[in-house]
Amino acid sequence: MRKKPVSKVEIRSFNKPVNLFFNVLIAVFALSCVLPFLFVVAISLSNETALAAHGYSFWPKELSIFGYTYLFDQMQDKIFQALFVTVLVTLVGTLINSTATSLYAYVISRSNFPFRRFFTVFCLITMLFSPGMVANYLVMTNLLQLKDTIWALILPMAVSPFNIIVMRTFFKRSVSESIIESARIDGASEMRIFIQIVLPLAVPGIATISLFAALGYWNDWFNALLYIQKDSLVPLQYLLMKIQNNIQYLTQNAGASSQLSGGMAAIPGESARMAIVVISTLPIAISYPFFQKYFVKGLTIGGVKE
């Protein structure tokens, strides 16, 4: 009798109905993530008057790229300036964040580092106790004098304690003590060990925390709200926030609108606002797939405890 070739191992898989159930479940979940964004795209491509008359719909009643042309004509300077600030802050910030985080995490992951415990607790404390907004504001404006500088957007998020803890576990799991030992025997310095041996082994982890950092920087508007006055330093998300807040203020103070409208800049229509959302979300959404291959590895190993 000839042996049958094994085409699939089915030991660990679900049986068909269960499999189908979970597939549907995940599909629904995935759709619920994607649909709102598609909806936004649809609104941004709709005709303003059609929107007012018929409300929102997935299939624009009348296609129009007015939202986008409005942005390019009316808000061109603001939008591109803000986009530049956001990109700059994200790039530099991610660079600083991932460098600082992995350096800190590496040091406290090494068992022969004498102040390991102190620095771990030091980092944990900042994670557990928050000093509050006012204290942050005082440090940033009075102590560091960073108000209205680009550093006010970068430095508050330059080190994230949570990522440090994730990376510390990651280093411990993926870089064994013995490989560091053997490198030292071969005569490598600490710096060389870190750069040439530890870092290449930790790429998935670093890629993961870099994505976290990049997302954080890209989406941040609160630091801009607190520290930025100058128009030239306003990031994209804050610009969007500002428009949204203005609209809310205007509708909530409807009674005073004749007086307010004297000083309120023209508010872009619905489709233009959605166009800003698309422009501000798309770049970071596109960067996702490039990090994805590291994702599973980076997160699970970082999350497992010894």
Partner 1 sequence: MKTWKKVVGLSTAVVLLGALTACGGGSKEKTDGSSKKADENTLLMYQIGDKPDNYDALMEVANKRIEEKTGAKLNIQYIGWGDYKKKMSVIVSSGENYDIAFADSYVPNAQKGAFADLTELAPKFAKDAYDQLDEAYIKGNLVDGKLYAFPVNGNVYSQQVLTFNKQYLDKYNLSIDDIKTYKDAESVLKTFHEKEPNIAAFAIGQGFKAQGDFDFPIGNDYPFAVDLNGDTKKIINQYENKDFMDVLKTMHKWYQAGYIPSDAATSNTEFPLEGNTWFIRQETQGPYDYGDTILSNAAGQELVSKAFTTPLKSSDQARMANFVVSNTSKNKEKAVEVLGQINSDPELLNGLVWGIEGEAWEKIPNKDGKIKLLDGYKPNTHLPAWNTGNNKILYTQDTITDEMIKERDESIAKAETSPILGFNFVTSNVKTEMSNIANVMSQYLDGLNTGTVDPEETVPKLKEALDNAGYDKVLTEMQKQYDEFLKK
Q: Which residues contact partner 1 by CB under 8 A?
A: 52-54, 88, 91-92, 95, 133-134, 137-138, 141-142, 145, 147-151, 196, 225-226, 229-233, 241-242, 244-267
Residue closer to partner 1 by CB (options 114, 132) is 132
Q: Which is nearer to partner 1, 108 or 206 (CB)?
A: 206
Q: Residue 58 corresponds to which amino acid?
A: F
DSSP 203: H
- CB closer to partner 1, 69 vs 232: 232
Angle, in degrees to the nearest 10, between helices 236-252 and 76-109: 120
Q: What is the rounded CA–CA span in Å between residue 134 and residue 136?
A: 5
Least separation in angstroms between residue 34's CB and partner 1 is 24
- For residue 289, the minimal CB distance to partner 1 (Å) is 22
CA–CA distance, 151 with 140 (Å, rounded to integer): 10
Cβ 230 to partner 1 shortest distance, Å = 6
Complex with partner 1: residue 136 or 219, whichever CB lies closer: 136
Kindly state the DSSP code that residue 241 receives in the 8-state scheme: H
Alpha carbon 179 to its chain centroid, in Å, reads 33
Residue 159 to residues 61, 102, 154, 219, Cα–Cα distance (Å):
47, 10, 10, 16
Residue 288 identity (one-letter amino acid) = Y
Shortest distance, position 54 Cβ to partner 1, whole Å: 8
Q: How far is CA 292 from CA 25, 29, 202, in A?
A: 21, 18, 15
Shortest distance (Å) from residue 146 CB to partner 1: 9
Nearer to partner 1, 109 or 223 (CB): 223
Q: How far is the CB of 263 from partner 1 (least distance, A)?
A: 3
User: Least CB distance from residue 226 to partner 1, whole Å?
Assistant: 6
20 vs 225 by CB, closer to partner 1: 225
Distance CA 235, CA 288 (A): 21
Among candidates 97, 105, 209, 98, which has minimal Cα distance to 153? 97
**93, containing H or E segment:** helix 76-109
Select 187 or 263, whichever has its Cβ closest to partner 1: 263
